[in-house]
Chain A
Amino acid sequence: MEKANNLKFDASTFVKRIKGMLSVDFYRLFHTPLFYIFIAIAAIIPAMIIGTTGMQGSETGALFTNVWQAIAVEKPLYVIENIGQYANMNMVFIFGGIMVSIFIGHDYKSGYVKQLFTTHSKKQDYIISKTLVCAFAMACMCLAYLLATILAGLFVGLSFSVNAGSLICALLGKLFMSLGWASLYVFLNIIFRKRFWISIASSFFFGTGILIIGAAAILGNSAILNIFLYGSSVYACLSSNFVSVLVCLVVSVAWSVIYGFLGTYILNKSDVY
């Protein structure tokens, strides 16, 4: 037994803490149905859109002529001209926002967050871990979306012709954007942590990119819009190149750092509940 005058307190380094927090969050992600439900949603969306609109005799007519149009638009258009330009992999980021809201909401609803902050976890660890794990989950949703799109395209018989290099750049860009979107949703959920439904609504609102679409409608299609999450997500299109990937990576990392700092500041300066 440890004697009262001989108590030992080992240093709890950042690496040790973040490792612990990431372990918990990944364990939770894989041991609760939430992640699998949203993977299924990510897969069902393109399958349904391609399936229902691409079948012969469909009343609405084919939304896509080429399977990769379900992944990204041909060129960066921030204001959509038809619903088909909206119905691409960017939708994953909207549903991902709802997943992040539920994931973080459960922490607060169950009171588990108290257990985390009572022990060695710092507020910054919480933000970093949640952002990385949710980014991973959204990247998985993107892959599920891709797989379902290919299968649905094969089933319906859509064209698969594409510039492979541009497609890979577009996919990489979208995957990198998962980090930026995850950081935005974590930040929104930190702000509205005491109001679960508002956090979901705000994630949905910002996830649709409605503000950028509105700005583009006024300003026109300006490259300046790429500095925002929705803008760079649209920029990852079927005419992407190495620069597009780099833009997506830089924008995503930059926003995740900004949102990470802001989220940590808010948590540090306010009560947990």
Chain B
Amino acid sequence: MNAIEIKGLKKSFRGMYALNGLDMTVPIGSIYGFIGENGSGKSTTEKLICGHLVKDAGSIKLFGKDYTDAGVRARVGALIENAGCFAGSSIYTNLKMQTLNLGIKNADEEIMRVLKIVRMEEHKELKFKKCSLGMKQRVGIAMALLGNPALLILDEPINGLDTDGMRIMREILVDISQKYNCTVLISSHILGELEKIATHYGIIRQGKMVQELSAKEMEERARVFVSFKVNNLQDAISLLKKKYANVKEEFGYARVYDEENVDEIVKYLIENNIVPAEIKKNKVGLEEYYIQLMSQKEGE
């Protein structure tokens, strides 16, 4: 059983398909990084899962049950676009309303529990409109955490946050996933941050799933490369191509893919009168993997 199972999901707006037969599988307990360019259908998918939009076709199952099942929905929390709080009311009042909606007993205890998770217990009497962006995002997560959700859906929760805000958010999400066994579906453009926490990835393009893979698979697929910064880049690339199969010019560097032996490549360059100014051995990260995948798809 998976936390989310989507098959053939379609959604159009005024005749234009935002989702065109999306398939998606989010394993229970995972932090699922949902990646795609603007307008690719990430938010639409999340809104459909949350029941905010009406689907045209396809099926959505949450924990093996239809996504409209009220019992399952009672254990879904979401932060989509904004926290969904009343600006003139305090953080406490906003959370209190959601505890009433969910029929949570010991509401005060529950409110303090979620505020502690998002590190906001000191600010419970603060009016929502007085909160900073980072605080509003955290209140939104606190709201979503009420009632011990089994599934948390977060749409771009780290957008607009400063470095410290991102770090806090990252720690909170890892905490939620590990301590509370909550499946987290998170979409973000900040792939570097996503890479630090995600256990699974889904890459969407033009309303269709391009690829789904676990962080482990991603690690296995991540190609090793050695990159060189040299003055005469084109000469260096031509030279390297004579000896190595996968040589590319990327980001102002000459990159030799799938070769582990740095010494041997350096020696080869120097023997041919090319002296590297900078040498790096690295692996393709999520961001680069994503860019490469997208450019491959564009080429198809």
A23 within 8 A of partner (CB): yes
B289 within 8 A of partner (CB): no
A194 within 8 A of partner (CB): no
Contact A10 B100 (CB under 8 A): no
A116 within 8 A of partner (CB): yes
Select from chain B the residue with minimum beta-carbon distance to A267. B54
A4, A115, A270: the one within 8 Å of B29 (CB): A4
Inter-chain contacts of B69 with A (CB < 8 A)? 9
**A-contacting residues, B96-132, CB 8 Å:** 96-98, 100-103
Interface-side segment among A105-113, A216-224, A244-252: A105-113
A271 vs B82: C-alpha distance when bound (angstroms): 17
Min C-beta distance of B127 to chain A, whole Å: 12
Inter-chain contacts of A122 with B (CB < 8 A)? 70
B76 within 8 A of partner (CB): yes
B77 within 8 A of partner (CB): yes
Q: Are A31 and B93 CB-contacts (below 8 A) given A9-B63, A118-B78?
A: yes
Q: Are A114 and B101 CB-contacts (below 8 A) given A2-B181, A12-B74?
A: no
Q: Are A118 and B70 CB-contacts (below 8 A) given A2-B181, A21-B101, A27-B96?
A: no
Contact B73 A120 (CB under 8 A): yes
Q: Are A20 and B88 CB-contacts (below 8 A) given A7-B63, A117-B50, A272-B52?
A: no
A121 within 8 A of partner (CB): yes
Q: Are A110 and B84 CB-contacts (below 8 A) given A10-B71, A19-B103, A120-B74?
A: yes
Select from chain B the residue with minimum beta-carbon distance to A114. B84
| Interface residues on chain A, number (Cβ under 8 Å) | 41
**B-contacting residues, A12-47, CB 8 Å:** 12, 16-17, 19-21, 23-24, 27-28, 31-32
A1, A27, A268, A271: the one within 8 Å of B179 (CB): A1
Contact A111 B81 (CB under 8 A): yes
Of the candidates B83, B85, B100, the one having the most CB atoms from chain A within 10 angstroms of its own CB is: B100
B51 within 8 A of partner (CB): yes
Q: Are A20 and B100 CB-contacts (below 8 A) given A4-B29, A114-B80, A271-B54?
A: yes
B65, B83, B86: the one within 8 Å of A9 (CB): B65
B91 within 8 A of partner (CB): no
Min C-beta distance of B155 to chain A, whole Å: 11
A57 vs B71: C-alpha distance when bound (angstroms): 67
Contact B102 A119 (CB under 8 A): yes
Inter-chain contacts of A11 with B (CB < 8 A)? 70-71
Q: Are A32 and B70 CB-contacts (below 8 A) given A1-B181, A119-B101, A120-B102?
A: no
Q: Are A120 and B143 CB-contacts (below 8 A) given A7-B28, A115-B84, A115-B98?
A: no
Inter-chain contacts of A1 with B (CB < 8 A)? 179-181
B246 within 8 A of partner (CB): no
Select from chain B the residue with minimum beta-carbon distance to A129. B101
B294 within 8 A of partner (CB): no
B218 within 8 A of partner (CB): no
Q: Are A117 and B96 CB-contacts (below 8 A) given A12-B70, A16-B103?
A: no
Contact A119 B87 (CB under 8 A): no
Contact A119 B52 (CB under 8 A): no
Of the candidates B47, B83, B86, B93, the one having the most CB atoms from chain A within 10 angstroms of its own CB is: B86
Inter-chain contacts of A28 with B (CB < 8 A)? 86, 97
Q: Are A24 and B100 CB-contacts (below 8 A) given A31-B93, A120-B74, A273-B52?
A: yes
Select from chain A the residue with minimum beta-carbon distance to B29. A4
The 3 closest A-B pairs by CB, nearest first: A12-B70, A111-B84, A120-B74
Further pairs besides A111-B84, A114-B50, A117-B51: 12, Cβ < 8 Å? A1-B179, A5-B28, A7-B63, A11-B71, A12-B74, A20-B100, A20-B103, A24-B98, A27-B96, A112-B84, A270-B54, A271-B53
